[in-house]
Amino acid sequence: MSEPEVDPTSPTSAGAQIRAAENVLAQAGVASPSYDAAELLAHVLGVSRAGLPLVRAVSAEQAADFDALVQQRASRAPLQHLTGSAGFRYVELRVGPGVFVPRPETELLAGWAVEQARAAGEVPVVVDLCTGSGAIALSVATEVPEAEVYAVELDPKALVWAHDNLAGSGVRLHEGDMAEALHELDGTVDVVVCNPPYIPLDAWESVAPEARDHDPALALWSGDDGLVALRALEVAAARLLRPGGVVGAEHADAQGETAPGVFSASGRWTQVRDHPDLAGRARYLTARLRRDGHPGVAR
């Protein structure tokens, strides 16, 4: 006997539930109401988004759970906090309150780190500073399994999430400030990668509520010009890298000149370049440590 057809006009259908939620989210100013509504319903039903059209009916209990999540999303709680996970390149990360939610644009920086690790030798050494959820470190360890990967995080709450995500990956996770981390590796690292805080303190009003009100402050704010953490990274990377080693760091789209300028000004680096994201906005810088033993190198 064939299954009864799904009635998309029924108030218990997945489509009707999504359309109602989409209206709520749109009125609340959520940037992607259709996508978020579908993701939340799929999460409640335990199916993929592609499987939603096959759902014959949404029960009253499921509808109530869905509505509760929609209301939280309308209050601008991050979608990933509500579903408990975030996809990043080829891995799935557990995320929630206390950890920075990895963004799709950071996948480009992670991809750069993967490429550099593959090119570095038989057993490349990679350090991910300000690891947060562990997204970049886990991507490198997954895609370059021969690499020795180290991750550093200062925030104790974020460290809990990183520990969970990196368990069993082989990544060596350390708690501490990137400025003083991993002195035992000084001068031996092939690749340093970092998604540091880079938002100026006076940019509060311009930051989306999902980030401003829910991401940890340590992952967002970086002094009056947004470059305090990048300056610390420049010194730390020069200390950690072998001569000729490379560093990559994300920055705000308005820092396409000032962020690379931090590295150019020190005299420790060559091949200082900036790279755009898929939308053409300035997104991350890369640089190579000089091979000539420049006296300014932090050792």
Please give, one letter per residue, the 3-state secondary structure of 131-192.
Answer: CCCCHHHHHHHHHCCCCEEEEEECCHHHHHHHHHHHCCCCCEEEECCHHHCCHHHCCCEEEE
Contact (Cβ atoms closer than 8 angstroms) between residue 248 and residue 109:
yes
DSSP 8-class letter at 78: -
pLDDT of residue 299: 46
Contact (Cβ atoms closer than 8 angstroms) between residue 244 and residue 269:
no
Which amino acid appears at position 148 of this protein? E
Please return the burial class of 280, using the count of CB atoms within 10 Å of its CB with bins 0-12, 13-18 and 19+: exposed
pLDDT of residue 2: 41
Distance CA 89, CA 195 (A): 15
Rounded to the nearest 5 degrees, what angle is found at the Cα of 45, between the Cα atoms of 41 and 51?
80
Six token digits for residue 243: 């001569």
List of E strands, the chain: 85-88, 91-94, 125-129, 148-153, 172-175, 189-194, 241-250, 269-276, 282-289
pLDDT of residue 163: 97
Question: What residues act catalytically?
Answer: 100, 195-196
Task: Please report, in tens digits, the pLDDT of each residue of the chain (299 residues total).
Answer: 344 455 555 657 888 999 999 999 999 999 899 999 999 999 999 998 889 988 888 999 999 999 999 999 998 989 999 999 999 999 999 999 989 899 999 999 999 999 999 999 899 999 999 999 999 999 999 999 999 999 999 999 999 999 999 999 999 999 999 999 999 999 999 999 999 986 766 665 665 776 666 666 666 655 678 898 999 999 999 999 999 999 999 998 889 999 999 999 999 999 999 999 989 999 999 999 998 855 444 54
- Domains of the chain are 14-75 (1.10.8), 85-289 (3.40.50.150)
Whole-model pTM: value is 0.86
